[in-house]
Amino acid sequence: MFQLHAFVVPETGKEHVMLTLGDLDNGEPVLARVHSECLTGDGLFSQRCDCGAQLETALEMIAAEGRGALLYLRQEGRGIGLLNKIRAYNLQDQGADTVEANEQLGFPADLRRYDLCKPMLDHFGIERLRLMTNNPRKVDALRELGIDVTERIPLQVNRNRYNEGYLRTKAIKLGHLFKGYLVEEE
């Protein structure tokens, strides 16, 4: 049985949640996923991204291990918000890739922040993670916050004809690690 915990950023009022399972403060690295909100993928089951499948798989992996945490951060569309994400989808339908679409809207490719992870993890005494991600920038960001990421666990799921270009762009332009693109995982 997962426990749901809510956190609020005082300066913005923005709410985030963390799902936890098992004994987290025994000093052993915690299997974890830091997941940014994706209404279209997580809640509406869009196939044009891999977000919903990553969320589901991460929760399944934590449940199978009997111990872990999922930090669900409310930063939709790589931080540009839901309305702008839908605008970006329109630009993608006209031929832009996911990075170009954000840039055409006047945003950087990725506005997400991970600094709020530190107080969330500190609340539970979690200092070491086995992080489920394909994003080396996320690993670096957490390490810069003083979080010991002892292992990066690939989470490549739901590759399909609708998200092939999206995943390729994440690998080529954002440095995500996927088998079959720029970097071959061993």
Q: Hey, how many other C-beta atoms are within 10 angstroms of the C-beta on 161?
A: 7
Q: How far apart are CA 102 and CA 91, in angstroms?
A: 9
pLDDT in tens, 26-71: 889 999 999 999 999 899 998 988 899 999 999 999 999 999 999 9
3-75+112-174: which CATH topology? Rossmann fold (3.40.50)
> Domain limits of the chain?
3-75+112-174
Query: Which residues are known binding-site members for Zn(2+)?
Result: 38, 49, 51
pLDDT in tens, 68-121: 999 999 999 888 999 999 999 999 999 999 899 999 999 999 899 999 999 999
59: exposed, middle or buried (C-beta count within 10 Å: 0-12, 13-18, 19+)?
middle
Q: How far apart are CA 101 and CA 87, in angstroms?
A: 8
Minimal CA–CA distance to 75: which of 35, 33, 115, 36?
36
Q: Is a pLDDT exceeding 50 seen at residue 186?
A: no
One DSSP character per residue, 48-70 reads: SSSHHHHHHHHHHHHHHHT-EEE
To the query of whether residue 130 is one of the catalytic residues in this protein, the response is no
The mean pLDDT of 1-5, rounded to a whole number, is 96
Query: Which residues are known binding-site members for GTP?
Result: 33-37, 54, 76-78, 98, 133, 138
To the query of whether residue 67 is one of the catalytic residues in this protein, the response is no
